[in-house]
Chains A and B, each alone.
Chain A
Amino acid sequence: MTIRDSIIELLTELFDEDDLEVPDFNDDLVLLETELDSLGYAVLVTRLEEQHGIDPFSAMDEPVYPTTLGEFVAVYEQHLAPK
């Protein structure tokens, strides 16, 4: 499973848990325009940290705020890529 798959799986779970409408997940999806709020976002980051051992946002020197799902996935891909 790629990091993209696991992000989408976790997002689906979160929307499902909160009885929210599950959006169509594509790279242009603007995360803050979904019903996911900052608490949901925090839960997503926590669970990804548990699965992949990293919270890229706390590891950053310069803060990056991804707007779309594509950018969010890219942040994880970048941090998980072999250096």
Chain B
Amino acid sequence: MKQKVRRSQRVDRGMTFVFYAVAFFFFALLFAFASKVILGGLAGATPEMFGFLRKGSIGNQLFNTVYLVFLSLLFSVPIGVSAGIYLAMYAKQGKATRFLCLCIETLSSLPSIVVGLFGYLVFLVFFGMGKSLMAGALSVSILTLPLITKTTEDAIKDLPPGYFQASMGVGATKWQSVFHVLLPACVPRIMTGVILAAGRGFGEAAALLYTTGSGSDLRWGNWDITSPTCPFNPFRPAETLSIQIWNLQTNGQDRDLANLASAVLMILVLVFSIAANALSRRISRKNSGEKS
């Protein structure tokens, strides 16, 4: 008996050590990974690489990435938020609603390459758009739509029921309560979802492979919006940072440039996810403060 106890105590201590080791190992791995990408990328960079040249720089690609994500949010935020409001406020319990939830799940687990193919088929083949920022932005918005819908729905559902009841009690209609009371109260949480969606959009590559093409020939100062070299023309082919890494990989040239592109992409995503994290922490602190 005594021996058994001693043995299980030994095992317990051993396993505790194993857990510490595993946790520490992965922590170190993630840390090494991040510092390798960021420091390694920045170390090999030359000043020209940050410029807006046709070749050998990342400025245009960085602009394309941000612009593409901005365009995609223009589509996915209104649709996602309204679908979320519908789910939280108007949908009745039933088969149709369950099906809608299933659809959201399906969309969120679609492989991005499949979404890219769908975007290619619909926007390029059927609508004849040609490889363009717009086609890529629409494909990315399909990928981010479920995330925004889900956060909006959860944000509204998690509000204290008193918000809605009080608003209805003073004679507001349902929409008035949604728009003037519930939505303003959820804005921070919805923002968190949008920031996360943007972060996902920045790194998306497979969905853009066949939809945005790889043009990086921009002429800054060309404000004719229909011209293919105007930076703000949404119907021009555009190379994003992630596609640039992919293209450099296939061509096998200019390692430093790809390293730098990865570093910048990583910093972009890190900044966005840390912002989302900080925001959601502030919300939860505020909420727990209100309760006490």
User: Is the A/B pair a real complex?
Assistant: no
Interface set of A (CB-CB < 8 Å, partner B) = none
